Amino acid sequence: MRLAFDPGPRPRGLDAFLGEIPDALFDDRTFACCELVARYADDLALDLARRLNLAPALARGASTAELASGLGFADSFRPALESLLGRLAAAGELERSPCDCGAAVWVAPRPLREPELAELRARGLELDPAMAPSLDLLDAAAAAYPAVAAGLTTGEHELFSAGRIALWLAYFSNRNPVYALNNLQTAVVAARRLGARPGARVLEVGGGAGSFSVALLEELDRQGRLADLALYDFTEPSPFFRRRGERELHARFPGVALRARGLDIDLPYEEQGPVDGPYDLAVGVNVLHVARDLVATLTRLREALRPGGWLVAGECLRLFPDQPVPADLVFQIFRSFTEVSTDPELRPSHGFLEPSSWRRALAAAGFEEVSVVPDLDRIRDLYPRFFAGVVLGRRPL
Ligand SMILES: C[S@@+](CC[C@H](N)C(=O)[O-])C[C@H]1O[C@@H](n2cnc3c(N)ncnc32)[C@H](O)[C@@H]1O
């Protein structure tokens, strides 16, 4: 059976809940690109089920542990396998039933459908050729699965080797419409919280090669506020990404007082060189969910702010418990993503969090005026795959 891909226009009524996010950032084309990527991830999961030889055991019914031991998968592959099975279930390909053994049993009620990767890629490039890096990164991750499953290598080794850098630079880019949404909406929210304040100091964590920094500085420039900045403290632990980011930011914004340095969000800041706070604004896009101890990391960020200063973090979010997000297919094979401390209340599982978990974690770290923008609790009932949000909180005055 062939499945048509026709996402149509974005759901009506969404605009009412975008709040301070301009409608133009989530137009029909961006919506269609996001839908295409979600469908591509589902079809890659079907393709992986074949490549990992999951189908015979799934036809009989098996728990994740039985599948893993029957096929000789490494223990470290377990989170990625669980996520892959969850994605197939969410796509209607598997049923998940409880078993006396305590674990869930996954069953394929009929043969898994054939993936349509080539057709979907062609359709995606027709929609917007600039979305290619999102599909390329998913493909690269999927290609690594069999060797990672067999314990022959790690996701980090396969996807962070020198030959792969171009893939990441193209993906974390404001030219890639699927990723840019994270940066652009975070930039709008962050610029607003910074307020018109001469002498403002901004700390960015996990700045990578600077795609969010560019989005924020462009937004401030558009508003004629670049001259307000006394310091843009651009931090990123990877020297390669940091140097790329620093070069680009100096070239694009020569008048901005930029400082580039390494900073690990898991460690106390005083141990890592001089702290130039207190900051008016702390920002980061798609970095805080890898914090090993989320509340400790958020607490450090709060302490680095002046009273009344804001933390604004762009994050990929899941809108329902265990909901698969396309980026899971890439990041579930990374230890930095899976090996974090969990807590039933504040951080129920590793990986991308739900808006309610972020709100609880920020409150536990002492932030006030905690919120998630746009209003994803309302949006999810109209469109359950709006995976980009901005989480924010303020240091009490
Ligand atoms: C998903 S990338 C986002 C990069 C950048 N914010 C952007 O949007 O272009 C996450 C970044 O977080 C950085 N990172 C990972 N672990 C970190 C840690 N413990 N402390 C600080 N940054 C970290 C990575 O090196 C990477 O550059």
Instruction: List the strands of the sheet with 258-261, edge to edge.
Output: 258-261, 229-235, 200-204, 279-285, 305-316, 388-394, 368-373
Question: Is 241's pLDDT higher than 80?
Answer: yes
Question: What is the rounded CA–CA span in Å between residue 264 and residue 196?
Answer: 29
* Nearest-atom index, ligand 1, CA of 208: 27
Give the pocket of ligand 1 (CB within 6 Å): 172, 183, 205-208, 211-212, 236-238, 241, 264-266, 285-287, 290, 336
Give the Å distances, CA to CA, from 385 to 36, 37, 80, 158.
11, 11, 20, 28
At a CB cut-off of 8 Å and minimum separation 6, what does 14 contact? 26, 379, 382, 383, 386
How much distance in Å is there from the Cα of 236 to the middle of ligand 1?
A: 6
Confidence at residue 294, expressed as pLDDT on a 0 to 100 scale: 97
Q: In angstroms, what is the span from residue 13 Cα to ligand 1's centroid?
A: 34
Ligand 1 atom with least separation from CA of 238: 25
Asked if residue 230 lies in contact with residue 201, where contact means CB atoms within 8 angstroms, the answer is: yes
Average pLDDT, the chain: 94
Task: Render pLDDT for 372-383 as a digit per residue (tens, 0 to 9).
Answer: 999 999 999 999
Percentage of residues in the chain having pLDDT higher than 90: 89
Q: Is the pLDDT of residue 313 over 60?
A: yes
Beta strands 258-261 and 305-316, pairing class:
unpaired
What DSSP string describes 99-134? -TTSSEEEE-SSPPPPP-HHHHHHHHHHH-GGGHHH
The reported pTM is: 0.95
Q: Where are the beta strands (DSSP E) in the chain?
A: 95-98, 104-107, 200-204, 229-235, 258-261, 279-285, 305-316, 368-373, 388-394
Average pLDDT of the residues in 89-93: 95
Percent of the chain exceeding pLDDT 70 equals 99
Q: Which residues contact 280 (CB under 8 A, 6 or more apart)?
A: 194, 195, 197, 200, 201, 202, 305, 306, 309, 310
81 CA from centroid of ligand 1 (Å): 24
Look at ligand 1, atom 1, and give the residue with the nearest C-alpha: 286
Domains, the chain, ordered by start: 14-171 (no CATH), 177-394 (3.40.50.150)
Output the CA torsion 133→134→135→140 (10° steps): 80
In this predicted structure, which of 44-58, 240-254, 271-285 has the lowest mean pLDDT?
Answer: 271-285
Q: Decide if pLDDT at 2 tops 80.
A: no
Q: How far is the CA of 231 from the centre of ligand 1 (A)?
A: 20
What separation in Å is there between the alpha carbon of 287 and the centre of ligand 1? 5
Closest atom, ligand 1, to C-alpha of 241: 27
Supply the residue whose CA is at minimum distance from atom 9 of ligand 1: 211
For position 219, what pLDDT does the model report?
Answer: 97
Residue 162 pLDDT: 76
- Best substitution site from 172, 216, 287, 390 to test ligand 1's pocket, by max atoms within 8 Å of Cβ? 287
Atom of ligand 1 nearest to the CA of 211: 9
CA of 263, closest atom in ligand 1: 21
